[in-house]
Amino acid sequence: MSGLIILLLALGFMVLFYLVFRSPTPGIGRLGLFLVWLAVGGLLAYFFAVRVLDYDPDPARLALARMVTNQKIIDLTQIVPGLPEDLDMIYRIDTDGDDERIEDEEAALEWLVVYRYDTVQREGAVVGGPFGAAIYDTGLCRPPSIFSFELVPVSYDYLGQDGLGVEVVNAIEYEDPLADPKGLGVDRPEVIITGYTGGTATDLNIFRKVGYYTLCRPTRAHADPYAETIELPFKYQVIGTFRGTYRVERNGATVVVKDRAGFERSQIVVSRVYTPDPNTGSYLRQVGSDPDRYELRAPDEEGLAFGPGRPEQTQQVYYPEKTVLAFFLDLGTNTERAMGLTCQGKGRNDYEPANFGLSLPLSDLARVKVCEMRYVPNDQAERAHEARRVGVKVVEIPKEIPPGETMDCSRARPLTCTVLSQNNPNALPFGCEWCLYNCEPAP
């Protein structure tokens, strides 16, 4: 896109150059074209410097603003430690939903500032360091004030390693009684901070404004004529802190955290699914009786999954354990595809639970949860198309779960599955396709 813009500007520059300087002698119309030519040339030079030469215009823009205003504007880059002269790290955004309650649209917007701390520097330039963030908001009392709210995760952790993404959405439907002086509840939006590591979302922190404005007088307690303490009746409270060693994903109010093992050649991950408590609108729970200590609630769902997603050619990949995991994850949800992974290669109607160490018929089976897998990698045996053994622990999830029962991994049954190879010269990389022969209860 940047290259196309530069190309179009260069083309316009050359066309205007011809129109301005062609004979005969320029007239008043040529003067207008000359001014347009200069403007296009300036835009061309700007885009070339920014997009091609990676020139950062923000320091010059800030210096110009300070010079024009004679240093009379509030410049957050000079106030917030760790905030470089980078305007992309300052968001002018409504973080609490007050745009619906305040007539002045500008007054309804806050400043969300991203900064770095504990930085690593090389030749005076910051090349590393974790990210933090804070929100600055104007007070409605007199004299006017600017309040700051640090966005603090659980255990005062960092928000991201290599970069941050910021969005404000109403992802959780929750009428917060603490946000309404009448106790009726206000559904405020959530401030969602996504932290990136190497371009992958690995951290997710969710905040919500808690509290409400009261009369100005009760919020101000004068210690003496020369000192004043302002007690704020609200704050931005963390309601969810997530970190995954593989990836963190969010879909609405549902958060999925994926963690990889220390060595996992098949990119199989532990997937945990979290939803907020409908009674508190939070993913956290209080630890003991300490009102200042919180921890993440237990996940709603936990099991093994493919980190990047299910491979299309599961049987042809290097690793036979992928066929086992794909089979169990497809059972119930796509049984026809699951049975295509078996050595019999039969369809849905030929499914026999006992052949795979299970008990529920398809009419009662919703899906299968895989809690654990164990296998011993042996590339020599795999190249030789030898039978392989894969240990799994699975839970059958029925379509109708009895009241009061939970289908967690404490109910998992251990199985030993046998994977065989079928010759296929066109299959990559070993000229064979892996198929699931059977599964038996493990001792």
Residue spans of the domains in the chain: they are 2-52, 82-251+275-297, 314-441
Q: What is the pLDDT of residue 39?
A: 74
Whole-angstrom distance, CA of residue 205 vs CA of residue 132: 11
The predicted structure's pLDDT at residue 224: 47
Q: In degrees, to the nearest 5, what angle opens at C-alpha 276 toward C-alphas 274 and 281? A: 165
Answer yes or no: are the C-beta atoms of 258 and 264 closer than 8 Å. no
Given this model, what pLDDT does residue 289 score? 82
pLDDT along the chain (443 residues), means of 10: 64 63 59 66 70 68 65 67 70 79 66 88 80 86 78 90 94 86 83 95 95 62 50 83 96 96 86 95 89 88 91 76 94 93 79 94 95 91 90 95 86 95 77 89 89
pLDDT for res 230:
55
- Of 195, 169, 200, 166, the C-alpha closest to 90 is 166
CA distance linking residue 229 with residue 223, whole number of Å? 7
Give DSSP secondary structure letters for 343-372.
SS---GGG--GGGGT----TTTEEEEEEEE
pTM above the 0.75 mark?
yes
CA 73 to chain centroid? 34
Which pLDDT does position 368 carry in this prediction? 97
pLDDT attached to residue 294:
87
What pLDDT was estimated at residue 375? 92
Model pLDDT, residue 225: 46
State the pLDDT at residue 214: 66
